[in-house]
């Protein structure tokens, strides 16, 4: 075989293998993105329902509102169900803080769940503390 032919065949082989490797890497990135996107949707839903637990009138703002959820007790049952599903995909930190919220609902426990979810999704190093994200209590709001 002539040297030019060998060079051309070598390049075609490299491009073919490179194409396969690139396709595999792209598929892997796509799957990771889909998993992250699904986790983000589930986390947002749970956070919205946690907020509704404190402000039941806000349920009207939920686009994914369940028609049979009308009270704080119904919201807590929804959160328990979501918690059991969360065991499949959430990090240990999210699972533990969500459990703490369900067992003892409070604004601090809610914000700890937010911080754990934030860490799980995007920010791997905890760069915010509870005191950084607490809103000052406004008069007239029912706080638990």
Per-residue model confidence as pLDDT tens digits over 109-144: 999 999 999 999 887 777 777 777 777 766 454 444
Average pLDDT over residues 50-56: 87
User: What would the pLDDT profile of 70-119 be if each residue is shown by its tens digit?
Assistant: 778 888 999 999 999 999 889 999 999 999 999 999 999 999 999 999 99
Q: What token pair was written down for 16?
A: 């073919």
**What predicted TM-score, i.e. pTM, was given to this entire model?**
0.71
Residue 18's pLDDT is: 64
Residue position matching structure tokens 């999210």: 94
Q: How confident is the model at residue 36 (pLDDT cuts 50, 70, 90)?
A: confident
Between CA 33 and CA 27 the distance in angstroms is: 10
CA distance 53 to 107: 10
Q: Would you give the end-to-end CA distance of the chain in angstroms? A: 82
């Amino acid at each position: 075989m002539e040297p030019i032919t060998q060079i051309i065949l070598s390049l075609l082989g490299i491009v073919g293998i490179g194409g396969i490797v690139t396709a595999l890497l792209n598929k892997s990135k796509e799957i990771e993105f889909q998993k992250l996107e699904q986790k983000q949707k589930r986390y947002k839903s749970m956070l919205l329902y946690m907020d509704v637990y404190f402000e039941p009138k806000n349920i009207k703002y939920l686009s994914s509102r369940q028609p049979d959820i009308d009270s704080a007790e119904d919201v807590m049952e929804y959160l328990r169900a979501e918690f059991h599903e969360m065991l499949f995909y959430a990090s240990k930190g999210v699972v533990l803080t969500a459990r703490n919220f369900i067992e003892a609902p409070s604004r601090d426990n809610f914000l700890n769940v937010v911080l754990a979810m934030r860490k799980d999704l995007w920010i791997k190093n905890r760069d915010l503390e509870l005191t950084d994200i607490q809103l000052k209590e406004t008069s007239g709001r029912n706080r638990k």
